[in-house]
Chains A and B, each alone.
Chain A
Amino acid sequence: MTKRVGARRSTVALKALMAVSGLIMVGYLLLHMYGNLKVFSGQVAFDEYSHHLRTIGEPLLPESGLLWIIRVVLLAAIIAHVYSAVVLTVRDRKATRTGSGPRYKSKQNKRGFQRSYASFTLRWGGVIIFLFIIFHLLNLTTNDIAPGGASASPYERVLNTFGEWYMVLVYTIALLAVGFHLRHGVWAAGMTLGANTSVKARRNLNVLAYALSGIITIGFLIPPYAILFGWVG
């Protein structure tokens, strides 16, 4: 038995928090992907876009105001998401714990009846994504990691980065993790928020999950490969 905490702090409520924070991040990713695709419009457009992000809302908002709002929301989302993921994971471990050794001794049917790779990769996938984000910020935002050379222009930073094949590889791995995570995550978020109540809804959710994860993975990967193969710049 665990402590009685009330429905407001129940696993279901926490999970809803995870779903909402996850969906916020998905929304951000869609925007971010759209921005990234501007590399094809050349340096001016890309840098202007990046600049524009910092000036929207002026003079209502101070310089970088919206960007900071986005950053705060994103940070809050990621904290909420990771917090709930950790709390729930610890709980699940406890619920299935059986003294020493694996839960079931049998070595047969480790994958159960139907467990998909996504459901297995969810947690480690999340950790990979998390590590990637830190790396990514050091790489393209602060430019502390700058393979191929640092630059003040975001456009150049991107070009320099993906000029290196191993960076493309790193991003590819990260985006596959994101893809898997979202394939299950988007569907799961629908379940968690109560949208999966009929066969039809279930099918639509599945389609949406495939579509979003596909669009995001491919959409993000186009620029790096384009740059690596020299189609940009």
Chain B
Amino acid sequence: MKITVRVWRQANPSDEGKMVGYDLDDVSEHMSFLEMLDVLNERLTLEGEEPIAFDSDCREGICGMCGLVINGLAHGPERTTTCQLHMRSFKDGDVIDIEPWRSSSFPVVKDLVVDRGAFDRIIQAGGYISAPTGSAPEANNLPVPKENADHAFEAATCIGCGACVAACPNGSAMLFTAAKITHLGLLPQGQPERASRVLGMVEQHDHEGFGNCTNIGECTAACPKGIPLDTISRLNRDLLGALAKGKA
């Protein structure tokens, strides 16, 4: 099929950036979206033009490296990662807009590549359980109700892609932050640091300049892993609980 892509080109962080159109004549519906860009890049290279910079690694929907806003939607029209999106989701003759994640906390590095270092710093602020290597008790000494374990797992499947931020009209990273709070907060191992974790992570979230959550729910809808909205409510509850107990 024939398609036109309009791609955000930005040479470096200080460049203005603009949308540039390219026509592709021979796109197979079995191609993945990123393979379509690979093909375009091969052509650009041979024409002596700079290929389009974009991130990807696993191309299996698990590493969270890829992420494009496609036609205004984070990761495109299907609920999946950009690398798992296929051209069969588009029609012959389509004009497809491709843009990077947009948030002042995810500065554009080049073209479609952004810097998501803020996520690592949020985790540094408390997104862990302090378990020094070698000090762990026998694993089965600590039973975890299956229901909690399953919920914790569900929240733990966040791949840190940042689509939630790109999709949220407020540029909030609450879903990402809340997924980690929920994952660790539902496990018995996570209890001792529950208060300090939420206080630290929320503080860092704000410090990074992310927006505030007004419970719009667009993040969950765009999240390729379907991290549920109730994680945000849990975060709120944990934070208010910690503040009420005077932990801040």
Given A8-B248, A13-B243, check contact A95 B233 (CB 8 Å). Answer: no
Q: Check A192 against B104 for contact (C-beta < 8 Å).
A: no
Given A11-B212, A197-B237, check contact A96 B72 (CB 8 Å). Answer: no
Q: Check A106 against B99 for contact (C-beta < 8 Å).
A: yes
Q: Which chain B residues lie closer than 8 Å to A53 at the CB level? A: none
Q: How far in angstroms is the closest Cβ of chain B from A7?
A: 4
Total interface residues in chain A, CB < 8 Å: 54
Q: Which chain B residues lie closer than 8 Å to A191 at the CB level? A: 215, 229, 232-233, 236
Chain A, range 187-215, C-beta contacts under 8 Å to B: 187-188, 190-199, 201-202
Q: Say yes or no for A71: interface residue by CB 8 A criterion.
A: no
User: What is the total of A-B residue contacts with beta carbons within 8 Å?
Assistant: 183
Q: Check A95 against B69 for contact (C-beta < 8 Å).
A: no
Nearest CB in chain B to that of A96: its residue: B171
Chain B, range 121-162, C-beta contacts under 8 Å to A: none
Q: Say yes or no for A108: interface residue by CB 8 A criterion.
A: yes
Task: Please pick, from B172, B211, B221, B237, the residue contacting A194 in the complex, using a CB distance under 8 A.
Answer: B237
Complex Cα spacing A104 to B71, Å: 9
Complex Cα spacing A122 to B215, Å: 11
Q: Say yes or no for B40: interface residue by CB 8 A criterion.
A: no
Q: Which chain B residues lie closer than 8 Å to A13 at the CB level? A: 239-240, 243
Q: Would you give the 0/1 interface string for A1-26, flagging 1 where the beta carbon is closer than 8 Å to chain B?
A: 11111111011111110000000000
Q: Check B237 against A119 for contact (C-beta < 8 Å).
A: no
Q: Check A4 against B167 for contact (C-beta < 8 Å).
A: no
Q: Check B221 against A112 for contact (C-beta < 8 Å).
A: yes
Complex Cα spacing A105 to B20, Å: 11
Q: Would you give the 0/1 interface string for B197-222, flagging 1 where the beta carbon is closer than 8 Å to chain A?
A: 01110110111111111111110011
Total interface residues in chain B, CB < 8 Å: 57
Given A110-B72, A198-B230, check contact A188 B214 (CB 8 Å). Answer: yes
Q: Say yes or no for B56: interface residue by CB 8 A criterion.
A: no
Residues on B lying within 8 angstroms of A by beta carbon are 6, 8, 16-17, 19, 69, 71-73, 77, 97, 99, 102-105, 167, 169-172, 198-200, 202-203, 205-218, 221-222, 229-230, 232-243, 248
- Given contacts A1-B209, A88-B214, A105-B19, 19 further A-B pairs with CB under 8 A are A2-B206, A8-B248, A11-B172, A12-B240, A15-B236, A16-B240, A92-B169, A92-B172, A95-B210, A104-B99, A105-B99, A109-B77, A112-B167, A112-B221, A191-B229, A194-B237, A196-B230, A197-B237, A202-B229
